A = this chain, B = another copy of it.
Amino acid sequence: MGEDVFKALADLTRRRILDELAERDGRALAEICAWLMTKHGLRLSRQAISQHLAVLREAGLVVVRMDGKQRVYALRPEPLTKVDQWLEPYRMFWSKRLDALEQHLEENP
């Protein structure tokens, strides 16, 4: 737990898993697998996805709930605030350019 969130997000498949959980939270491994296959055409073994989920769990981005013989994965977006906070000082940079653009358009209609 508490592993680097940025590293967890570095992998596209893991981001897709999070996206999937953001849309429909509380899904079993098999469901996530099937969804990745159909939507993104990924051909990954069940274990591959399972290991990705383990990484997400390490980063605290996901929690598991036992439900019968299924393990239901649920999104836990709190660690993403660290990314959001890190991003914060940079936001002024691209808002500055937008401001400059706006001003330019106002002065040159």
Contacts and interface: CB of A to CB of B under 8 A. Distances in A.
Contact of A15 (B12, B75, B86): B86
Contacts of A77: 90, 93-94
A66 interface: no
A77 B98 CA distance: 13
A81 interface: yes
Nearest to A14: B6
Contacts of A4: 10, 12
A80 interface: yes
A15 B7 CA distance: 12
Interface in A45-104: 75, 77-78, 80-81, 83-84, 86-87, 89-91, 93-94
Interface centre among A6, A9, A87, A94 (most CB of B within 10 A): A6
A95 to B, nearest CB: 10
Contact of A87 (B10, B84, B93): B84
B9 A10 contact: yes
A15 B22 contact: no
